Amino acid sequence: MKYSTGLLGALSAGLVASVPLESRQTGNIDVTVLQFALTLEHLENKFYSDALKKFSEGDFAAAGYGATYYEDLKYIASDESSHVALLSSALSAAGQTPVQPCTYSFPYTDVKSFISLSSIIEGVGTSAYLGGAPLITSKDYLTVAGSILVTEALHTSYQRAAVAEVPFASPYGTPLDPTSVYTLAAAFITSCPATNPPLPFTPLPGLTYNATQSCAVPKIRKRSITCRAPKPKPSGTEGGYPSGTATATPIPTPTGNSTMNPVTCEKFAGDSIVLTAAGNGTLPATTYATFVSGLNVASVQAASVVGQSVTVAIPAAAMGQTYVFLTSAAAAGKLDSTTIIAGPAIVEVAPPPPVYDVNVKREIE
């Protein structure tokens, strides 16, 4: 949502006045959820503010993104700032000390890699709110979290479209538990203030999607984007997205232990990928890759296990931004945290062509 400065203040005041988190509730899980949400919002807020300081409107135009996109990006940054203010105010009103921003390191090098990383971070944020919703005990706070979730999902779709991915690749959002979300966020956090209240999460062992090995023959997406400007100027960039047909631009292959680096090729269900767990040991001979996508949790036994790496085929249930874990057992309908060996890694999976019925007839009894 696009809030004005005045409305942001009103929303913050309204939240504190209408749904206060009373001091007697300090042991409630709601405090932990709010602190964790604020931790993520600080990260997103810094991510966008740094990028807007680093890149000018001219930089975005040179990369093929015009004035409309740049203006919308500022709205996204404003939204994240609003979320920080809202959650901080609620915690302060409850007598809690809100977590402060940490120091971060974001691995983008130019406008296009920034936008690619943005689409992934927004997807994780959406999954975090969806996965955290069942933990909230207050109906009022659940409504607030749901309101932020909607905005994060809008950001996700907008940025996915900007990098020529299907904006809504799955018919369902993907919930992700707080520990898994924290594991992904920790890849960008270099240090945090010692005064920050501790969060009850420990990052899981890292898992890396090896794009170089998985993409022997890169399949770059070539999905056309319709220009938003009805009358594009000669440069073809003034309407926001690039005019005509755009293609996903290759960016550096992921390196190190980061689990959220964008990759250069597109994968489909049935394709094989290589995943490598952190550490120097040897994975069990029977290791599974468990894919979490939408409301589906699907495990596939690794076709090969070599040291800390596995090769596995992507299941049909995976679509869009998918979270992958290495597990010691196949999931039975949901992810069992006691079986997790490493993860999550993020793999973008192209959805199959849409299927719909244009000949639906209404039956009258």
DSSP notation for 66-97: -HHHHHHHHHHHHHHHHHHHHHHHHHHHTT--
Say which CATH class 5-191 falls into: mainly alpha
Contacts 24+ apart (CB under 8 A), 241-246: 241/64, 241/65, 241/66, 241/68, 241/69, 241/161, 241/162, 242/64, 242/65, 242/66, 246/64, 246/164
- Say if residue 318's pLDDT is above 80: yes
Q: pLDDT tier at 9 (50, 70, 90 boundaries)?
A: very low
- pTM value surpassing 0.85: no
pLDDT at 16: 29
Q: pLDDT tier at 332 (50, 70, 90 boundaries)?
A: confident
User: C-alpha angle 28/34/37, rounded to 5°?
Assistant: 145
pLDDT at 242: 44
pLDDT at 355: 87
Spatial separation of the C-alpha atoms in residues 63 and 10, rounded to whole Å? 37
- Say if residue 281's pLDDT is above 50: yes
Q: Domain residues of the chain, as ranges?
A: 5-191, 207-350
pLDDT at 266: 77
Q: pLDDT tier at 210 (50, 70, 90 boundaries)?
A: confident
pLDDT at 130: 97
pLDDT at 246: 36
- Say if residue 156's pLDDT is above 50: yes
Give the residues across from 347 on adjacent strands: 322
- Say if residue 301's pLDDT is above 60: yes
